[in-house]
Chain A
């Protein structure tokens, strides 16, 4: 027996067939989604919410890191002078501090100036006048050249050793605590992202598994007329990929709205602390990363669902 007509005469090149089959598979994948629009939308909504949680938390943590970085840059060391120190001793102390190699700047706030500033910032000037004796010590505000924690600790030790110094306080402790807390939350978020990523994989996998069952008869027909497993698999992979893409986009939109919604109160809060801090939303690269992750999860979820299933389906 010889084939009556050469298929190659009317068919395309291997590369052209490859792209043609992909375009056909994409349309079929889209058809699978549009066949049950409500069900598809619900799946996309669930996937989006699953993606919003870790990516939103990571974005907030990234903003938190920026904030602590900004605060660390402005870190200073407060050197409280002994109240009994004379003006000459204070002068000597200032000279000693200025002689330190890792110093960027030093400001002196006398006890009187300190009281005045405290009165102005709290509005308690009248009450402070009634106390009679100034309870505040003179302070040197030392700005280090570098924010390296080791250097800062070394400077604290050196300053503490200077004569007429009562206490040295590094105004960075709370920032470091916040930074440690952010690191802890970051690790927690990575764990959460892993678990929720797994959830996305399973949700897509289950959705595609149901689709394979739904299209069981169609798969049989395609096999009957000579369709390969690859040809049959592709539309399901495109469906998974489209679920991932749509949910990634939707998640990015939800997070953007959320950031906009929080921006007002955050800016107000920052202003109260004399800060220019603003929440940074997703930039282009972040959106691309989120989409790449969601598309990959959708693709592999559907791959896992289809792998092995098609071999078992044979035309009856």
Chain B
């Protein structure tokens, strides 16, 4: 993938879409081969180097993975806290990120007060708050209805338009067809250019 590109990764259930994304996001370790992200061979990363690599990647999963006991603001601020940003900068970036996903008004809410779509948008806001090099999403619309799915995909497109490289694994071919983006298809361990 090229810098600033947006692509969809398609394939049947069990084809290996999630595994490929997890390998690219260093959530899983390859047993052999090479994975190069930003000129970095992930197979050579030591266990201690993995967190630093992940801080350059935004990851959105099907389950929003929000911390139930923390407010929306605190959830979104987490990557910035880990990186040691100044409090003022954290406030500025978190609010900008929440504004982009249209949920600034929910900054003091707890995740349990959010709808499924809102929770996924918060997850997206958290994934982009530290302006990552690469945004990975694994079935981000899997639990959403078609309207909400389209809304979430548009947000991904918006982030791509400002320069973020985006790779989204999905099996929703109809949704993909609404975006003019590169599509990669995975089948029986092989990656093909273009949808199935």
A: residues with CB less than 8 A from B are 1-5, 7, 10-12, 16-17, 20-21, 24, 31, 35, 217-218, 220-229, 231, 311, 314-315
Taking a contact as CB atoms under 8 Å apart, the answer to whether B78 and A225 are in contact is yes
The segment from B112-120, B129-137, B176-184, B186-194 that touches chain A is: B129-137
Taking a contact as CB atoms under 8 Å apart, the answer to whether B85 and A7 are in contact is yes
19 contacts between A and B (CB under 8 A): A1-B3, A1-B133, A1-B134, A4-B163, A5-B131, A10-B89, A11-B85, A20-B84, A217-B68, A221-B75, A221-B78, A223-B51, A225-B78, A225-B82, A227-B78, A228-B48, A314-B27, A315-B27, A315-B61
State which of B3, B59, B81, B130 has its C-beta within 8 Å of the C-beta of A224. Answer: B59
From known contacts A1-B133, A221-B67, A225-B126, infer whether A7 and B83 are also in contact, taking CB-CB under 8 Å.
yes
Taking a contact as CB atoms under 8 Å apart, the answer to whether A2 and B133 are in contact is yes
Is residue B66 within 8 Å, beta carbon to beta carbon, of the partner chain?
Answer: yes
Q: How large is the interface on B (under 10, 10 to 19, 20 to 34, 35 or more residues)?
A: 35 or more
Taking a contact as CB atoms under 8 Å apart, the answer to whether B165 and A1 are in contact is yes
For B67, list chain A residues within 8 Å (CB): 217-218, 221
Most buried by A among B3, B51, B164, B165: B51
- Mask: chain B, 55-73; 1 = CB below 8 Å from A; 0 = not: 1110101000111110000
Main secondary structure of the interface of A (DSSP, over half): helix
- Residue on A nearest B75 in the bound complex, by CB: A221
Taking a contact as CB atoms under 8 Å apart, the answer to whether B82 and A226 are in contact is yes
- Mask: chain B, 135-160; 1 = CB below 8 Å from A; 0 = not: 00000000000000000000000000
Taking a contact as CB atoms under 8 Å apart, the answer to whether B82 and A10 are in contact is no
For B134, list chain A residues within 8 Å (CB): 1
- Residue on B nearest A17 in the bound complex, by CB: B84
> In the complex the two chains form, what is the Cα distance from A17 to B164 in whole Å?
27
State which of B48, B79, B84 has its C-beta within 8 Å of the C-beta of A21. Answer: B84
User: Known contacts A4-B131, A10-B86; can you find 15 more A-B pairs with CB under 8 A?
Assistant: A1-B38, A1-B133, A1-B134, A2-B133, A3-B56, A7-B130, A11-B89, A12-B85, A221-B66, A223-B54, A225-B54, A226-B82, A227-B51, A231-B51, A231-B82
Is residue B52 within 8 Å, beta carbon to beta carbon, of the partner chain?
Answer: yes
